[in-house]
Structure 1
Amino acid sequence: MAGTAEPSTRLRHVYWIGGGSGAGKSTIARRLADRHGWRLYATDDVMRDHAARATAEEAPFLHQFLAMDMDERWVNRSPHVMLETFHWFRGEGFGLIVEDLLSLPQEPCVIVEGFRLLPHLVRPLLAAPEHAVWLLPTPGFRQAAVRSRAVHGEGFVRRTSDPARAARNLAERDRMFTTSLHGEAERLQLRTIQVDTTMTEDDLVEQVTTAFRL
C-alpha cells in the first residue's frame, strides 16, 4: 500500500537542491520548475510555519534561538557557536519538510530547495542519487555576496547594535557551513556543483539539469 511504502519510494518524484547561502538555489529551482511544469517547494517559505509547529522537545535549539535578542543571535556569539547551535543546521524541523512533501500529490514532480536540505538527511530519501545536488559557493563568490550584503544590507543584520560585526560573523558561519556541506556530500557520494563569479545563471541551470539527468 502507498501509505506504508518507504519514503524513498513515495518521494521518487522529488528533486532536491541544497547548498550554501546565496548560491542560487531558489533561482535555479524556480527556472527548472517553470521549464518542466513541476511544483516548487521552497523551504525558506515554510520556516515560520515549521517554527510554529515544532515543540521545544522536538526542536530545542530553535526555541533557544527564538528566546535570544538580535545581538545574542548575531553579534555576541562566535561564528563557530552560531554554526553549531543554529537549529536548521542541526536538522531540526526537517521531518516537517518530509511531512509536507509526503502530503503532496505524486504528479507533477516536485523540486525542493533550501539550505535546510542536509546531505545526511536527504540521502535516505533518494530513490536515485542523481535526484539531489548541492550548490557550493566558492570563496570568491561568497566575498561578492558579502560585499553585496554590506551595500544593500540584510534586514536582521541592520537590527543589531553592530551590523558590521554581525555581517562578518554571518559570513564566517556561512563559510564553515559550506565547507561542512562539501565534506558531507563527498562522504555520501552525492553530487555537488561549485558556484563561482564567472558562472552565468544559464550555465548553472544546465549544470543542474545535467546532474539531474533530465
Structure 2
Amino acid sequence: MAGLRHVYWIGGAPGAGKSTIARRMAARYGWQHYATDDTMRAHAARTTPAMAPYLHAFLAMDMDERWVRRSPDVMLETFHWFRGEAFELIVEDLLALPPTPCVVDGLRLLPDLVSPLLGAPDQAVWLLPTPDFRHAAIEGRATLGESFIHRTSDPARAARNLAERDRMFTSRLREDTARLGLRAIEVDIPMPEEDLFRQVTSFFRL
C-alpha cells in the first residue's frame, strides 16, 4: 500500500521482545512508534459483535473460561487478535499519522495481513521466541505483578494452556512467513538484546 511505505513492521509471538526492539529503533532513529498492544482496548471499543464476533465472545467470558476451561487449540483458533479482527483499525490509525518513518509492533501483525501492505519485503520481520525465551520473558513480567493468569482460579493450568497456545501460534507464524517469503528471526536464550536489535536493524537496512 503506497500510503504505508514508510512503515516498518515487527510482528511475532508474545514474549519475543517486539516492543523492546521497536522502542529502541524509534529512539535511535527518531521515528514514530505505534504499539498495537496499546490500542487493543480502544479498538475493542470501536467494534461491534458483527465486526468482531470472536472479540466480543472473548469479552463476555470470565477469566476461567478464557484461560482455564478451554483447550489450547480452541484458545488458538478463537483468539480474536490471532484471527485478524480489527486489523483494519490499525491500518486506519497508521494512515492518519504523519507520513514519516514509523515502526509498528505487536502480535496482531499477522503475515497474511501485513504482506499486501509492504512496499518491500525487507520492511517486515517476525520474532519467534523459543518456549524457554518466552517463559523467561513472561516470568520477568509476572514478578512485576503484570500476569493476568493470577486472576484465574488455577494459575498453573492457565499458564500451561497459555504457553501451549503461544507455542502453536509461533509455529503458525513460522509456517506463514515461510510460505509468504517473509523474514522471521528465532529468538532464544541467551541471545542478548543488542544482538537481536542488530539483526532486526540489519534486515531493515538501517
Task: Give the TM-score taking structure 1 as reference length.
Answer: 0.92
Equivalents in 2 of 1:37, 1:146: separation in Å? 29
Whole-Å Cα distance in 2 between the matches of residues 149 and 73 of structure 1?
Answer: 20
Report the counterpart of residue 165 of structure 1 in structure 2: 157
Aligned equivalent of 2:175: 183
Unmatched tracts of structure 2, length 5 or more: none
When residues 176 and 154 of structure 1 are mapped into structure 2, their CA distance, relative to the original with a 3 A threshold, is farther
What is the aligned partner in structure 1 of residue 67 from structure 2? 74
Alignment partner for residue 51 of structure 1, among 41, 44, 54? 44
Instruction: Name which of 1, 6, 11 aligns with 1:18.
Output: 11
Once residues 193 and 119 of structure 2 are traced to their aligned partners in structure 1, the CA distance between those partners, rounded to angstroms, is 28
Q: Write the deviation string for residues 10-32 of structure 1: whole angstroms up to 9, x where unpaired.
A: 10000000001111000000000
State the shift of 1:147 in Å: 4.8
CA shift, 1:141, in A, is: 1.5
Aligned partner of residue 111 in structure 1, secondary structure? strand
Q: Aligned residues: percent identity?
A: 69
SS at match of 1:41: strand
Give the aligned residue type for 1:105: P
**How many angstroms does 1:198 deviate by?**
1.6
Kindly indicate whether the alpha-carbon contact (under 8 Å) linking 1:146 and 1:171 is maintained by their aligned counterparts in 2. no
When the two chains are superposed, the root-mean-square deviation of aligned CA atoms in Å is 1.4
Local SS of the residue matching 1:54: coil
Alignment length, in residue pairs?
206
Residues 1:203 and 2:195 are matched in the alignment: yes
* 1:150 positional shift: 6.5
CA shift digits 1:52-93 (9 cap, x unpaired): 001111100000000000100000000000000000000001
For the pair 1:141 / 2:145, whether they are aligned, the reply is no
Asked if structure 1 preserves the Cα contact closer than 8 Å seen for 2:22 and 2:104, the reply is: yes
Preserved CA contact (<8 Å) 1:17 1:25:
yes
Letter in 1 for 2:92: E
Counterpart in the other structure of 1:100? 93
Question: How far apart, CA to CA, are the structure 1 residues paired with 2:143 and 2:157?
Answer: 14
Q: Contact conserved, 1:141 with 1:195, CA < 8 A, in 2?
A: yes
TM-score for both structures, normalised by structure 2 = 0.96
Using the alignment, how far apart are the partners of 2:142 and 2:162 within structure 1? 12
Amino acid of the structure 1 residue aligned with 2:23: R
User: Does the aligned pair in 2 maintain the 1:71–1:160 contact within 8 Å?
Assistant: yes
User: SS at 1:40's partner residue?
Assistant: strand
